[in-house]
Amino acid sequence: MDKAKPKRTPAATHLKMTKDLTGEKVDTNLYRNIIWSLLYLTATRPDIAFAVGVCARYQADPRTSHLHNAKCILKYTSLDDRKSTSGGCFFLGNNVAAWFSKKQNSVSLLTAEVEYIAAGSSCSQLLWMKQMLD
């Protein structure tokens, strides 16, 4: 993985994994360790949560295709461009109406700057939702 080329996205936009009974089996402990590490990362990297959740479904009998997808997520997380990730959830009553997770366009030097950018993104999303509901 040291010489791996970084990925721009954690998974393909149409990520659809199956049991893949025809593929070659891989070391279950290796696959589970990768998934465990990725699950740990989701606490601070919500942008990988969906892709990791899909990969985590196949820990009982992982195949090469599953390992390939997990490694793609690792390649994505190794890309260190110092840009922060903004995210938010919007509730309508007790239910989540919308959520987003987006990498910011610029590198911020201060934590407060990151928070202002995230607040701006959240406000623009909220205004759009308000217009849609009116």
Per-residue pLDDT of 17-35, as tens digits, reads 777 778 899 999 999 999 9
Is the pLDDT confidence value at 6 over 70?
no
Domain chopping of the chain, boundaries: 1-80, 85-133
Kindly state the average pLDDT of the residues 77-92: 81
Is the pLDDT confidence value at 1 over 60?
no
Is the pLDDT confidence value at 78 over 80?
no
Cα–Cα nearest to 42, from 2, 10, 83, 90? 10
Give yes or no for a contact between 91 and 97, defined as CB atoms under 8 angstroms apart: yes
Kindly state the average pLDDT of the residues 47-53: 88
pLDDT at 131: 92
Structure confidence at residue 86 as a pLDDT band (50, 70, 90): confident
Q: What's phi and psi for 67, nearest 5 deg?
A: -65, -40
Kindly state the average pLDDT of the residues 4-15: 62
Whole-number percent of the chain with pLDDT over 70: 85
Structure confidence at residue 80 as a pLDDT band (50, 70, 90): low
With a CB cutoff of 8 Å and minimum separation 6, the contacts of 92 are none
Give yes or no for a contact between 15 and 69, defined as CB atoms under 8 angstroms apart: yes
